[in-house]
Structure 1
Amino acid sequence: MTAKTGRSHDEVVVEMLRADPEFADAYLAAALEETEQPGGHQAMLTALRHIAEAQGMANVAEKAGMPRESLYRALGPRGNPTIKTLLAVLNASGLHLSVARQH
């Protein structure tokens, strides 16, 4: 919970993503850059879960062609989504994965 608002960090991030959907681009890009760091895998799943929550988990699950419960599991704390699930969720969220050479 944040001291000023009484809301959790997760709630604040989801609210920010709802208010500014383009924030999802930068948020997910930052999470992807951290995937090789300790806890980076979890940060990536958390970012994707926040984006899905901002757009409505049921809506994203439907667009991704999967049950809502499966989406929650895939993006949960112990989730380990397949590449198929990851790409389906990104696509359903209006995002896509791109690759760039490391410098």
Structure 2
Amino acid sequence: MTERTKIADLPDFDAASYLDSEEDIAAYLTDILEANDGALLASALGDIARVRGMIEIAKSAGISRKALYKALRPDAAPRFDTINRVCVALGVRLVVQPVHG
């Protein structure tokens, strides 16, 4: 009989270790945006900010480190201004494209 692995026993996935370049970050955020989930976007930006250094991103975005952590926690709903400032600090920008289909 095959032994089943429980989901709770699996290690947590951390996208941060795969985000080595602006291209990787842009592709990751593009996929996240397609989910249309603000909390997921905040969490993804948090993953990226951890890779780049939260203190440095906070300084570049003009946000306190504490406010950045709060804005980018998984259950957060940050304002667009915060999202935009963090994206600029990360070296990426949000782009609008027409929806086909």
TM bucket (normalised to shorter chain) is 0.7 to 0.9
> In 2 relative to 1, CA 31–67 (structure 1 residues): closer, same or farther, beyond 3 Å?
same
Tell me the residue number matched to 1:59.
56
Q: Return 5+ residue gaps in structure 2 as ranges.
A: 1-7
Which one of the candidate residues 43, 63, 70 is aligned to 1:46?
Answer: 43
Tell me the residue number matched to 1:29.
30
- Cα contact 1:57–1:68 (8 A) shared by 2: yes
RMSD of equivalent CA atoms: 1.9
Task: Tell me how far apart the structure 2 counterparts of residues 34 and 77 of structure 1 sit (CA, whole Å).
Answer: 14
Which one of the candidate residues 73, 92, 95 is aligned to 1:95?
Answer: 92
Q: Secondary structure at the match of 2:55?
A: helix
- Cα contact 1:63–1:92 (8 A) shared by 2: yes
Matched, 1:81 2:83: no
Q: Extract structure 1 runs of 4+ deviating beyond 4 A.
A: none
- Cα contact 1:2–1:8 (8 A) shared by 2: no
Q: How many residues align?
A: 93
Tell me the residue number matched to 1:14.
16
Cα distance, 1:26 vs structure 2: 0.5
Task: Give CA-to-partner distance per residue, 1:29-60, whole Å, 9 cap, x none.
Answer: 0000111xxxx322212211111111011110
Q: Return 5+ residue gaps in structure 1 as ranges.
A: none
Task: Tell me how far apart the structure 1 counterparts of residues 83 and 22 of structure 2 sit (CA, whole Å).
Answer: 19
Question: Quick one: percent identity of the two aligned structures?
Answer: 33
- Cα contact 2:22–2:91 (8 A) shared by 1: no
Q: Secondary structure at the match of 2:98?
A: coil
Task: Tell me how far apart the structure 2 counterparts of residues 8 and 21 of structure 1 sit (CA, whole Å).
Answer: 24
Give the number of the structure with larger relative contact order, counting CA–CA contacts within 8 Å between residues 6 or more apart.
2
Query: Higher Cα Rg: structure 1 or 2?
Result: 2
